[in-house]
A and B are shown apart, each in its own frame.
Chain A
Amino acid sequence: MYGGGYIFEEPNRVQQREEQLHDDPEKLAAFEMRIANGEKIEPGDWMPAEYRRQLIRLIEQHAHSEVIGALPEGTWITRAPGFKRKLALIAKVQDEIGHGQLLYNAAETLGKSREAMINDLLSGKSKYSNVFNYPAETWADVTVIGFLIDAAAIVNQVANAKGSYGPYCRALERICYEESFHLKQGHDAFIELATGTPGQKAMLQDALNRWWQPIMHFFGPPDKVSGHSEKLMQWKVKMASNDDMRNQFLEAYVPKIRELGLTLPDPLLNKNEETGRWEYSDPDWDLFFEVIKGNGPCNKERLDVRKWAEEHGRWIRKALMKEGTFEKKAMPVA
């Protein structure tokens, strides 16, 4: 699972731009031609410093989102209602951690070690999808995450899978295939509550009301303020604008929510038949930035759990190290 809305510029961006000026113009032209022709860029290829930096940030934050995203669902494994739901949830959580591994490897091909990425996550320097800073209060929250957050993630990932960097595209191909199961099992669990007892319906409606704003935040700030770089679009690092992806999500999923007799907590949410685009109330973007800064309901808990796992796993990682294995350490080749 993953959302593009947390891909933010760091303060040192201006400095990096200077660095970009030193890229060999001839090589840069050949590189851009290659992307324009629909070719993929591979790890050993020449690439502009800014392309490498942006990709590392994008893929790294995607990897963190997979791993942190497994936490709110993981805590529900023991409380999942029934054997079938428990099996599906275990499989889904294992997939998400597996996606994290695939993505860390893709990022490593660009030259940043996994250890450095984990350190940046734990220190708060590197972000993950904002949506995972909210708690899963009831089982209905887990079904909303499994259905709607995964659906939103798929919109984003299917777009990114057409990007220009080969190792990222290959990882996403496999991820999208597995996400289709996540979405289906989430939809199934969601429908079961929506068509269940009055108590189940009320629990689901509550969860939907709680999650609607984080879901609207998911794709990031509106295009008019996010100012996505044209360069990133040209280099096929960013494949679709935040508003386009949000619209695509609303178009596909609002009808699937409403057909079950559920409502969404936004009186303005409606499709404008003339423009073909969805209209909605602006979610609270100040809150969004506040949560990204670390002040959401679960930011601290998520990082503390991750830190706990790192600290308590250290002894076994060290015990397993064998002499000789590390004589030749290398990054993944593809």
Chain B
Amino acid sequence: MNDSLDPRINRLKLNKTDDPCKVEEGENWNVFEVFHQEKRGAHHEHVGCVHAPDAGLALVFAKEQFGRRKKCVNLWVVRSADILAFDVEDEDMFANNLEKTYRDASGFKVMEKINKFKAQAKPANDK
């Protein structure tokens, strides 16, 4: 019947019936987003997702999928459906007014003022 080069495949007695195989919707479980922490003290970063029947197994699969090669000290998983995000179409609301020096350290020129004060004060002290 089956003439695979691999004896183990022949032992499986593949496809005894020709019935089509159908995977039911939902049979591959739910989707979880995975966040990877490379070292202690670093942020957890989104790296991808896994399919799992619950959060506990999602962590196990995430370790296999995202922790097997690169350095990893911790992982988070969260159900994809629980992620709340802005609509990408609303991206324009992040458009920045470039005139934001009032909330930047560089917007405050303290040294200029100090130097000006010192320059003015110096002749007075010399008297």
Contacts of B79 in A (CB 8 A): 325, 328, 330
Interface residues on A, range: 35 or more
Of A45, A137, A307, A314, which contacts B15 at CB under 8 A?
A307
Contacts of B31 in A (CB 8 A): 105, 108, 329-332
Shortest distance from the beta carbon of B48 to any chain A beta carbon, whole Å: 6
CA distance A122 to B15 in the complex (A): 12
Pairwise interchain contact A332-B80, C-beta atoms closer than 8 A? yes
Contacts of B5 in A (CB 8 A): 75, 135-137
B97 at the interface (CB under 8 A from A): no
Q: Tell me the B60-105 residues at the A interface (CB within 8 Å).
A: 64-65, 68-69, 79-83, 85, 87-89
B50 at the interface (CB under 8 A from A): yes
Q: Tell me the B1-21 residues at the A interface (CB within 8 Å).
A: 2, 4-6, 8-9, 12, 14-15, 20-21
A304 at the interface (CB under 8 A from B): yes
B37 at the interface (CB under 8 A from A): no
Pairwise interchain contact B8-A75, C-beta atoms closer than 8 A? yes
A102 at the interface (CB under 8 A from B): yes
B59 at the interface (CB under 8 A from A): no
Question: CB-nearest residue of chain B relative to A135?
Answer: B5
Shortest distance from the beta carbon of B35 to any chain A beta carbon, whole Å: 11
A interface secondary structure, majority: helix
- Chain-B contact segment, one of A111-119, A154-162, A206-214, A259-267: A111-119
Q: Mark A310-323, 1 if CB is under 8 A from B, else 0.
A: 11001001101110
Q: Mark B14-47, 1 if CB is under 8 A from A, else 0.
A: 1100001111111111110100000000000010
A44 at the interface (CB under 8 A from B): yes
A285 at the interface (CB under 8 A from B): no
Pairwise interchain contact A321-B29, C-beta atoms closer than 8 A? yes
CA distance A42 to B85 in the complex (A): 13
Pairwise interchain contact B88-A115, C-beta atoms closer than 8 A? no
Q: A102-B48, A118-B28, A307-B15 are in contact. Are A44 and B23 (CB under 8 A)?
A: no
Pairwise interchain contact A307-B48, C-beta atoms closer than 8 A? no
Pairwise interchain contact B53-A325, C-beta atoms closer than 8 A? yes
Contacts of B68 in A (CB 8 A): 94, 98
20 A-B pairs besides A98-B65, A115-B28 with CB distance below 8 A are A44-B87, A75-B5, A98-B64, A105-B31, A114-B28, A115-B27, A123-B20, A135-B5, A137-B5, A301-B4, A301-B9, A305-B14, A308-B14, A317-B28, A318-B27, A330-B80, A332-B33, A333-B33, A333-B85, A334-B33
Between A and B, 20 residue pairs with Cβ closer than 8 Å are: A44-B87, A45-B88, A46-B89, A75-B6, A75-B9, A78-B8, A98-B64, A115-B25, A115-B26, A116-B25, A136-B5, A300-B15, A305-B12, A307-B14, A307-B21, A314-B27, A325-B54, A325-B79, A328-B82, A330-B30
